């Protein structure tokens, strides 16, 4: 008799749970929760990209600092000869890179 009592208790528990879940049905999606999750994922990606770019910029600055004595005379000669054109190229390249994401199609 003691063997049947646990089975009956288990059967009652399963029936109780089945009735409970049948009353609720499936939960609907919560748009606010989904938006929060997507926002958190975007923030994590942004932080990862920011750290990666900061590392690349720091490495480039370190290399430039280390090589500055060797290349400073060459850079001065190039800039003095093509100063306005180089400045225009840098400005245009910066604008292209900075504004490119605004014109991407979704």
Chain segment 71-86, per-residue pLDDT in tens: 888 877 776 777 778 7
Cα(44)–Cα(91) distance, integer angstroms: 31
Are 83 and 91 in contact by the 8 Å Cβ rule? The answer is no
| First-to-last C-alpha distance (Å) of the chain | 68
Structure letter (DSSP) for residue 105: -
**How much is the pTM?**
0.44
Give the whole-number percent of the chain exceeding pLDDT 90.
28
Cα(86)–Cα(92) distance, integer angstroms: 10
């Amino acid at each position: 008799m003691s063997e049947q009592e646990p089975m009956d208790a288990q059967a009652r528990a399963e029936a109780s749970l089945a009735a409970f879940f049948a009353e609720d049905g499936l939960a609907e999606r919560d748009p606010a929760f989904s938006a929060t999750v997507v926002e958190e994922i975007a923030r994590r990606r942004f932080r990862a990209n920011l750290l990666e770019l900061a590392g690349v910029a720091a490495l480039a600055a370190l290399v430039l600092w280390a090589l500055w004595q060797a290349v400073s005379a060459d850079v001065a000669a190039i800039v003095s000869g093509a100063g306005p054109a180089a400045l225009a190229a840098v400005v245009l390249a910066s604008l292209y890179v900075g504004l490119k994401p605004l014109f991407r199609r979704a």
